[in-house]
Amino acid sequence: MAEPIEFYFDFASPYGYFASLQIDALAAKHGRTVTWRPVLLGAIFKVTGMKPNLQQPLRGEYLQHDATRIARLLRCPFTFPASTPVNPVAASRAYWWRFAEDPESAKAIARALYHAHWGEGRDIGDADTVAEIAGSTGLDPTAVSAGLQDQAVKDRLRAETDRAIERGVFGSPFVLVGDEPFWGWDRLDMVDRWLATGGW
Amino acid sequence: MAEPIEFYFDFASPYGYFASLQIDALAAKHGRTVTWRPVLLGAIFKVTGMKPNLQQPLRGEYLQHDATRIARLLRCPFTFPASTPVNPVAASRAYWWRFAEDPESAKAIARALYHAHWGEGRDIGDADTVAEIAGSTGLDPTAVSAGLQDQAVKDRLRAETDRAIERGVFGSPFVLVGDEPFWGWDRLDMVDRWLATGGW
């Protein structure tokens, strides 16, 4: 069986949210599965010298308009959060804490967090909120809170971010089909074509 | 009749080149025409604080890979130029010099310049080369050379770039359908849908 597609994203990224709604179904069409890998774009931007898109003059306004337009197109829940970019550390740690035990349950956490932030506009930047939202997927919030403080979890998130940089990941979403890189929600069509044809 | 679609681009942008191969046919499907508007992204980057994509770590390598992959997909001539980003000033002036007299002839110049640079990998950064390539579209190279030094032409390029900033243009290609902005070659599908539906 072919190896899973890798889906890198940052919880602060609206385009990562849109991709999260589509990537598993897209892969399944081609008999493939997806490993989700939340990372910290802030650390990656230190390498690339980029700034968060939404903080750039002209580009920030456009991206807010563009994201809202995509949400209307996809007919998905969307509320631009009052405070962006949100700090993705606690959310990412919740994912990697759960991933070690049950990757599918970790995906459920990620979906709930993305929905809360980009679907409903909630701030998911603090540990208590993350524990509550992760708890809503059927886990014990107290266990989540403890997991967020686990040194192994903190190390895993750092290692995953480092590994992303090594693999050339510099934005969100970023999909790897084997070693073939695709940056951006607007490359999902190309990922689809790549999976269908085996590349060109 | 509906107003022309506006197609902003920089000659140093490979994605602008790809869009230049498709935008007129795309618009014609919907009974629309296109006004091409080459501008200087370097001046725009001073406003946004961005750097040329190809000079960014990780991102630069990806973009070279991505552009080559798109060229294979479109089956269009493509040669990554030895020196990028090229200085687009002379090429842009040639366009605006001719535009004042005959916009369609100016488009032919732009196509020839884009083909030379991104299709064949030629350096189009100096005035003599630009005059020669523009001359190949049936114009007198000496007249082109004189036009490149025309103060009104220099002023027009500066004014067009300023106007682009006012309209929120921050990258290449950048398409405006009325006031609706679309950034990137990968938004052409969305431009197509927008023209077909009148927006959503």
Cis amide prior to A85 (ω within 30 degrees):
yes
The answer to whether residues B134 and B115 touch, using CB atoms and an 8 Å cutoff, is no
pLDDT of residue A107: 98
For all residues of chain A together, what is the average pLDDT? 96
pLDDT of residue A138: 97
Q: Find the mean pLDDT for residues B56-79.
A: 95
Q: Find the mean pLDDT for residues A13-17.
A: 98
The pLDDT tens digits for A50-64 are 877 777 888 899 999
Of A56, A165, A186, Cβ closest to residue B50? A56
Q: Find the mean pLDDT for residues A112-124.
A: 98
pLDDT of residue B120: 98
Is the pLDDT reported for residue B197 higher than 90? yes
For residue A186, give the DSSP letter: G
Q: Which residue of A has its CA nearest to B56?
A: A48
Q: List the one residue out of A172, A194, A178, A181 whose CA is nearest residue A26.
A: A194
Is the pLDDT reported for residue B90 higher than 90? yes
Of A58, A170, A189, Cβ closest to residue B170? A58
Of A61, A170, A200, Cβ closest to residue B59? A170
The pLDDT tens digits for A145-176 are 999 999 999 999 999 999 999 999 999 999 99
Pairing of strands A5-9, A34-38: parallel
pLDDT of residue B48: 85
Contacting residues of A for B177, CB less than 8 Å apart:
none
Is the pLDDT reported for residue B129 higher than 80? yes
Is the pLDDT reported for residue B53 higher than 80? no
For residue B1, give the DSSP letter: -
- 């001539």: which residue's tokens? B77
- 């807010």: which residue's tokens? A64
CB contact under 8 A, B50 and A59: yes
Q: How confident is the model at residue B55 (pLDDT cuts 50, 70, 90)?
A: confident
CB contact under 8 A, A65 and B169: no
Q: Find the mean pLDDT for residues B148-168.
A: 97
Shortest CA gap B152–chain A (Å): 28
CA A123 to chain centre: 16
Q: Which residue of B has its CA nearest to A60?
A: B48
Point out which residues pair with B181 in neighbouring strands. B176
Give Dmax (Cα) for chain A.
49
CB contact under 8 A, B168 and A72: no
- Coil, strand or helix at B34: strand
Contacting residues of B for A66, CB less than 8 Å apart:
181, 183
Shortest CA gap B180–chain A (Å): 9
CB contact under 8 A, A56 and B65: no
Report the range of poorest mean pLDDT among A79-83, A184-188, B149-153: A79-83
The pLDDT tens digits for A36-92 are 999 999 999 998 888 777 778 888 999 999 999 999 999 999 999 998 899 999 999
Percent of chain B with pLDDT over 70: 100
pLDDT of residue B16: 98
pLDDT of residue B54: 77
pLDDT of residue A53: 77
Collect all residues with Cβ–Cβ distance below 8 Å to A15 and sequence separation of at least 6. Answer: A67, A70, A172, A173, A184, A185
Question: Rounded to the nearest 5°, which phi and psi values hold at A180?
Answer: -80, 120
Structure ipTM: 0.93
Percent of chain A with pLDDT over 90: 90
Q: What is the pTM of this model?
A: 0.95
pLDDT of residue A71: 98
Is the pLDDT reported for residue B71 higher than 80? yes
Of A47, A56, A184, Cβ closest to residue B186? A184
For all residues of chain B together, what is the average pLDDT? 96
Q: Find the mean pLDDT for residues B82-103.
A: 95
